[in-house]
Structure 1
Amino acid sequence: MKNLAYITLVLFSTLFYGCSDELLDVKNPNTLTEDQFWLSAEDAELGLNAIYAMQYKPGLWGRWIYFRYDLTSDEGYSKSPWIELGDWTRFQYVNYNFWEGNVITWRDHYKGIYRCNQVISNVPAIEMDEAQKAEIIAQAKFFRAFYYYNIAVLWEDAPIVLEPSEPDDLPEQKTVEQVWAQVEADLMDAVKSLPVQWDDANVGRPTRGAANAMLGKMYMQQRKWPEAKGALDYFFTGEGSGAYSLMPNFKDNFTHEFENNSESVFEIQFSDDNFGGGDGDEPNANMGNNRAQFFAPAGIGWSDGQARHWLVDAFKQEMNQDGELDERLRHSVFYSDIEADFGDKIYGRDWQWGAEDAWFRKYQRDYYRDNEDYHSQVNLRMIRYADILLLYAEVLNELGQTAQAYQYVDEVRARANMAPLATAYPAIGNDADLFLERLKTERVLELCGESHRWEDLKRWGDLDSQAAVDNIALRDPDFKNFEVGKNHRLPIPQVEVENNPNLSQHAEY
């Protein structure tokens, strides 16, 4: 799966003026039309491959989406000399058409949806093995749901396109509730045909567990707690019970050496095979992750994205059961005292940055090299079992089952050699509010820098009141720019609004 063929379908139509009928009938032997494609099982697989190819696109998990999820949240920030890039991490949206901050991510989401729609619309008519057909369509529906999930989190109200689009289409804008409903419909369909586990040749494709995890997350973002529990039960009392487990070593979730492991529920597959390739649709396009280059410390990478130092302080509030620092700190953040605390240099260097500087260590390759580039082969663990454990605890707490929620937090804490939650914080008891407040910290300690924090803040309602935002601003000054009722979602790219009379800019923008 790491070397899945990077194939993109391009369908051409050419209009000739002033030509004879014979010329109009000439076919380009090197170009497939839509009528010539979608005829065989091989075509179906190639169409599916085009969906997987979107994982590497710069507007998505190849590059820019980390600026939306990690740096816009209170976990990260930017001191980039590229002023507009930095402004888009601190809620200063002047140009809604800023390519790297907004337009390319919108474009690549809908480009991915287009490829999903091609498969979903055309594969049913192909004569092929029905089980194989069902699995292909299920994967396409999973990814369409995956893209619409991000659209609901980032932009909220947006068009829903369910058929292969044409250049002159003007899709209607839908509410965020309708977008969530579409995510639910696609995932419910995907669950029926995705396997519990793929064979070794297909490891990395979404499983039934991945679809149930996305369902659970989707319900949680809408605060539909009973439905969320029903989806996440899959991992604890359902078909997926016992199929996942925490890796013994926390750090093994962020290197290229232990990918698709027992803790992985779903991950983006990266590769450095096409080293030097671009980010277009050519066969040798880059299949690597650019995050490491943009998030590495100054002098090693571009350093356009940094971690907030309050993360370090959060780790140091509680020692483990041996009276030592939480080992997760060592593998989560580069910071000025990391050598004194753990003996670790930074890419083989002594600390040479400011005392308050920090960078995300997850997914960086300092464990075997002394620099970074645009071709990191380290898979992105989109959903880990540790995340599922903490989400399930949150759901149970919201359903009034706080006492039952402790065990799932404790499983995550035990790997880090932290005391059971009730031992460390006995004052919480069965108080649901106190449990949630502690769970917010537990998610930071386990998941910081993994692109979950923005949706967490939205789900918890921490972006809905000025008092809550003011509290966030105490640890992240960028939130002094945050306008309640406005900055909880991105503006729609203005070029899209101007070109589509059925699309309206969010009223607050």
Structure 2
Amino acid sequence: MKKLLLIFTVFCSLLALVSCQEEELDLKNPNALTTDQFWVTPNDAELGVNSIYAMFYKDGLWARWMYFRLDLTSDEGFSTSPWIELADWTRFNYINYNFWEGNAVTWRDSYKAIFRANQVLANVPEIEFEDEARKQSIIAEAKFLRALHYYYAGLLWENIPMVLEPSTPDALPQQVSQEEVFAQVEQDLNDAFTDLPMQWDAENVGRPTKGAVKAMLAKVYMQQHRWPEAKTALDFLVIGEGANYSLVDNYKDNFTDINENNSESVFEIQFGDQRRGGTGEGQDASVSSTRAQFFAPRGIGWSDGQARFWLVDTFKEEQTVAGEIDPRLQHSLFYPSLFEDFGDRTYGREWEWGEDEAWFRKGARDYKRDNEDYFSGVNWRLIRYADILLRYAEVLNELEMTSEAYQYVDMVRERANMAPLADTYPEIGNDQDRFLDRLKIERVLELSGESVRWEDLKRWGDLEDQASVDEIAERDPDFNNFEIGKNIRMPIPQSEVENNPNLEQNPQY
């Protein structure tokens, strides 16, 4: 099946238990299931775990606003939205910490996803299954998804409440550090690994595999500079039992709906356009992405998010072995000379863009239509094998195995018809710092606009001293607003702090 159909509407009645004060109301809806009535059969368990996947389709997460946090806040993107407060939240001007689109909705939806995972983990173990293996894989899926959402919450806010049981309306969860958040992510992922398959059948494509677990483990280890553990996780994917991934021949296939869930996909969010409702909990709720609508060029979409033009210049610094422009540029960005460089008319027409303007192209649908809307069915490749190879090179370099790292960068470069790294930049040699500096550029060329840059900047320590932030500001003036020790993390929504005495606002906010 091309799309994993996620049935979750039955489960949504349970979510109402979180938002009402039963002791105060003492009202019971005879048409609504209670928790005890719901968690009875294996089908209930299937509905419960599917409801966690449904959170990918909510505004605060991967349907819309997560890209503003990860792509536009980084030095790859920015916003010139006429909605000033929205644009301010991509340039570190945080005034109202409760601003819905910039902060509060992503917080809410992250914890809704975690709540749904906690419901599965608390209730499914008590359900009798004839197929015990399926029961355990449901539990493992819930742990993977809880880990994924905690990873990104820890990446964005760092110091957050840790909730490992189904919430109640009067819960006041304790705040923990990013280190403790990542420790829980690690535990959940390791627990999930055993009971997830190497791959799913066609009807279940989109659920996490053992490879997806190891990829997420590598991410969390790398953010903590735990290089030996990161190497072990990546070994599985590159040279170990899980080395069943490969780069697709056509780079563009990673960003359209034509060749989804391909050999390069490690974990992919399944989007579709079969339902065209809103992003609430109704039966017609959308399972689509709105990224293209918000990031499309003027006249096609809202243009609330743009790419920094330094990306275009970076692509043009080195030619292919045939003396041509890096072909990845064509599929990564819209920019003024796109037609001149590649003969490519986007959305079926030429454009009159400012000479220093660019937009993200990945996930756009100009290859098949001349407009965008809120219902893009292009899957989002959250983790793909090219990222894994470049991460492996980074880890090997950190472990003083630089000479062994080159080959994995070259695998990525070769697809783009670029010469081997050592031939092009012999001055790097086995110098770890020089290799990392070049790898930072290689990651931009391969992965720009794919929501990895913010975590990269944090991992590399580029946001921790004024000199490196000043260097970033030369290519992204928004970083002139960046305050060391403060903006490396987002403020917690102020309403959460005021309502929970166990929460403290993040430092310097």
* Deviation of the 1:237 alpha carbon: 2.7
- Equivalents in 2 of 1:349, 1:434: separation in Å? 42
What SS does the aligned partner of 1:383 have?
strand
Aligned position for 1:314: 314
What SS does the aligned partner of 2:475 have?
coil
- Equivalents in 2 of 1:374, 1:112: separation in Å? 22
Aligned position for 2:6: 4
Aligned position for 1:335: 335
Aligned position for 1:352: 352
Gaps of 5+ in 1: none
Does the Cα contact within 8 Å between 2:73 and 2:91 map onto a contact in 1? yes
Structure 1 pair 124/349, CA: closer, same or farther in 2 (3 Å)? Answer: same
- Equivalents in 1 of 2:260, 2:284: separation in Å? 23
Gaps of 5+ in 2: none
* Deviation of the 1:4 alpha carbon: 2.6
Identity rate, percent:
65
**1:281 and 2:281 matched:** yes
- Equivalents in 2 of 1:17, 1:378: separation in Å? 45
**1:167 and 2:169 matched:** yes
- After superposition, the C-alpha distances for 1:62-109 in whole angstroms (9 at most, x for unaligned) are 001100000000000000000000000000001101000000000000
Aligned position for 1:149: 151
* Deviation of the 1:507 alpha carbon: 2.4
Aligned position for 2:418: 418
What SS does the aligned partner of 1:300 have?
coil
Tell me which amino acid in the other structure corresponds to 1:479: F
* Deviation of the 1:346 alpha carbon: 2.3
Structure 1 pair 327/17, CA: closer, same or farther in 2 (3 Å)? Answer: closer
- After superposition, the C-alpha distances for 1:225-262 in whole angstroms (9 at most, x for unaligned) are 00100111101232112x10000000000000111000
**1:75 and 2:46 matched:** no
* Deviation of the 1:16 alpha carbon: 10
* Deviation of the 1:116 alpha carbon: 0.1
- Equivalents in 1 of 2:508, 2:323: separation in Å? 50
Q: Which piece of structure 1 moves more, 192-201 or 458-467?
A: 192-201
Does the Cα contact within 8 Å between 1:220 and 1:459 map onto a contact in 2? yes
Does the Cα contact within 8 Å between 1:9 and 1:47 map onto a contact in 2? no
- Equivalents in 2 of 1:506, 1:51: separation in Å? 28
- After superposition, the C-alpha distances for 1:176-196 in whole angstroms (9 at most, x for unaligned) are 110010000000001111100
Does the Cα contact within 8 Å between 1:463 and 1:488 map onto a contact in 2? yes
* Deviation of the 1:55 alpha carbon: 0.8
Structure 1 pair 95/191, CA: closer, same or farther in 2 (3 Å)? Answer: same
Structure 1 pair 89/233, CA: closer, same or farther in 2 (3 Å)? Answer: same
Does the Cα contact within 8 Å between 2:39 and 2:127 map onto a contact in 1? yes
**1:462 and 2:465 matched:** no
**1:248 and 2:246 matched:** no
- Equivalents in 2 of 1:140, 1:205: separation in Å? 10
- TM-score, normalization by structure 1: 0.97
RMSD value, Cα? 1.5
**1:202 and 2:204 matched:** yes
- Equivalents in 1 of 2:385, 2:23: separation in Å? 56
**1:87 and 2:85 matched:** no
What is the aligned length? 501
Alignment of 1:485-504 (within 5 A): 485-504=485-504
Aligned position for 1:239: 241
Does the Cα contact within 8 Å between 2:8 and 2:48 map onto a contact in 1? no
- Equivalents in 2 of 1:209, 1:402: separation in Å? 25
* Deviation of the 1:18 alpha carbon: 12
**1:379 and 2:373 matched:** no
- Equivalents in 1 of 2:456, 2:79: separation in Å? 20
Tell me which amino acid in the other structure corresponds to 2:451: S
Structure 1 pair 459/27, CA: closer, same or farther in 2 (3 Å)? Answer: closer
- Equivalents in 2 of 1:501, 1:55: separation in Å? 30
- TM-score, normalization by structure 2: 0.97
